[in-house]
Amino acid sequence: MPHTFVYTHQDFVTDVHRSCESYPKVAPPCTKFDTTIRAGWKDRMDRRLFRYHLGDLETRILPGPHGYVAQLNIQRGIERRKPQEILSIQQEFNASQFNFNKINPDEIIFEMVRCTKDTTSSDEGQVCQSGRRIVLINVSPLEFGHCLFVPDPSRCLPQILTRSAIQFGIESVLLSADPGFRIGFNSLGAFASVNHLHLHGYYLNHELKIESRLVKPLVPKKGFYRMQDFPAGFLFYTESEDVKKVAGTVCQVTDFLVDNNIAHNMFLTRGCPPCGSIQSDKDRCLRNGVRIIIWPRMACFGAKEESAFNVALCELAGHLPFKNKKDYESATEIDVIAIVQKHLLPDDAFDKLEQQVSCHLTAL
C-alpha cells in the first residue's frame, strides 16, 4: 500500500520569497511534502523504475529579457511513451488505452488526503475528503522530482480540468517551501499525451519571469488579469485563505475554453501578487502566494512535433527542455519566440477571447 500523506490548512507555507537584494540567497527549507516527494522520487530512480536515469541536466539561460531557461534532455525526447491519438479537446476517456489505473503500483509515491476541522463536533475532530488523490513518478522525467498528480483515478475522468483538480494543484504548491516547485496542465490538443485527468509537478531551481511579470486587470472583482508580456495569457493569484474560491473561478475560465473547443495550458508557480506597475525589489521577491497562468492556444491534433522542443506547459512558462544538442546550443531568444508564436492564438483572436471571457466572468 502506498504511503498516505495527510495535510491540513496549517501545513501551507505562507512565507516564501525569491533570493534578491532584500533577501540573501539561502537554500529553501524542506517541508514534509518536499521531503516525501524528494525521497520517494530518488528511491524510484535508484530502483530503476524510470525509462532513463536523470542526472544533472546541462542548463543555460538564453540572453534576452525573457530569461528562458534552456535544458538539454535528449532521453525524454527518445524514451517517453508515444502520445495517444487525440482528435478533440472534449474527447471521452477510453479504458482500452493507457491510463493511470494500469501503472506499476510501485510508481506511486503517496496518496494525498486533505483534512479540515469538524466544526459540528464537540471534540473538534477532523473531516477528511473522500476520493483518492495519488502522486506517482513520471517515468520519462523532464526535471528532478517530476511527478504526476492524479485526482481519483478510478473515476476515469478525461483530461479536462475540474475545480477540485485545480484546487489540488494549488494546494500542492502551497505545501512546498521551495519556490522552484511547479505544477502544470496540458489540455487535449495542447500536447497532453494521456487522456486521463492529471497534472504535472516538478522542481526547477531557476527563476522564471512569469513569477513577477506585470499584469493588466481585466475583471478585478474576480481576480482576473492579463499577462503584460509574451506569451499572452490569463492570470489569477491566490494565497492560502482563498484557494477554493480562486480554484472555482479558474475552472469557470477553463470550462469556457473547453466548451468553445479552445486548447490551453496551465502553469502554477509561487509568485508575487499581481501588479500593473514597477514594484520594489522586496515586493517583487515575495512568493507567499501562487500565480495561476492559463494560455489559450492553437490546437494540435496529430501535428508534426517541433524538432527543438514541444510547446506545452513548461515551454510557455519559460522552461525549455530541448530534445537535441544542436538546437540547445544554437537557440536564441528570437528563435524560441518564433517557435512559440506558431502555437499561440493570433493577436486579434486572443483579444476577442479576452473580451468574451471577461464578459462571461462578469455575468456569473
Q: Kindly list the catalytic residues.
A: 198
Contacts of 215 (CB under 8 A, 6+ apart): 225, 226, 227, 228, 235, 274, 275, 276
Beta bridge partners of 264: 296
What is the C-alpha separation between 124 and 351, in angstroms, rounded?
Answer: 50
In sequence order, which ranges of 47-162 are alpha helices (DSSP H)? 74-79
Instruction: For residue 3, give the C-alpha cell.
Output: 504511503
Using CA atoms, how far apart are residues 138 and 314, in angstroms rounded to an integer? 15
Distance CA 163, CA 331 (A): 38
Q: How far apart are CA 244 and CA 193, in angstroms?
A: 28
Closest CA to 128 of 141, 138, 142, 113: 113
* Long-range pairs for 20-23: beta carbons < 8 A, 24 or more residues apart: 20/281, 20/282, 20/284, 20/285, 21/281, 22/281, 22/282, 22/285, 23/282, 23/285
Phi, psi dihedrals of residue 128, rounded to the nearest 5°: -110, 145
The answer to whether 136 touches 107, Cβ cutoff 8 Å, is: yes
Write the CB contacts of 339 (distance below 8 Å, at least 6 apart in sequence): 306, 308, 309, 311
Q: What are phi and psi for residue 159, nearest 5 degrees?
A: -75, 65
Residue 14 CA to residue 287 CA, distance in Å, equals 8
Strand order in the sheet with 59-61: 59-61, 69-72, 319-322
